[in-house]
């Protein structure tokens, strides 16, 4: 993780990298591309809006991730 200012879900645990995501609620999809969907999310506690890119993990993605 990157501390308190890090990206949501960047610490990958046993849940596949989704730890901490329960504190966000989806507002709407804001875009899509070859690797995933960008979603507007709201922090349930602070009401802050953030953009989150949700990437499907598969053989194509793994070949580019180090």
Alpha-carbon distance 23 to 19, whole Å? 9
Tell whether 23 is in a known binding site: no
Q: State the binding site for ATP.
A: 53
Binding residues: 53
């Amino acid at each position: 993780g990157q501390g308190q200012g890090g990206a949501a879900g960047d610490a990958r645990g046993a849940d596949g990298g989704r730890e901490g995501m329960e504190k966000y609620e989806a507002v709407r999809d804001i875009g899509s591309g070859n690797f995933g969907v960008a979603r507007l999310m709201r922090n349930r506690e602070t009401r802050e809006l953030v953009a989150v890119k949700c990437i499907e993990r598969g053989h194509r993605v793994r070949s580019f991730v180090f």
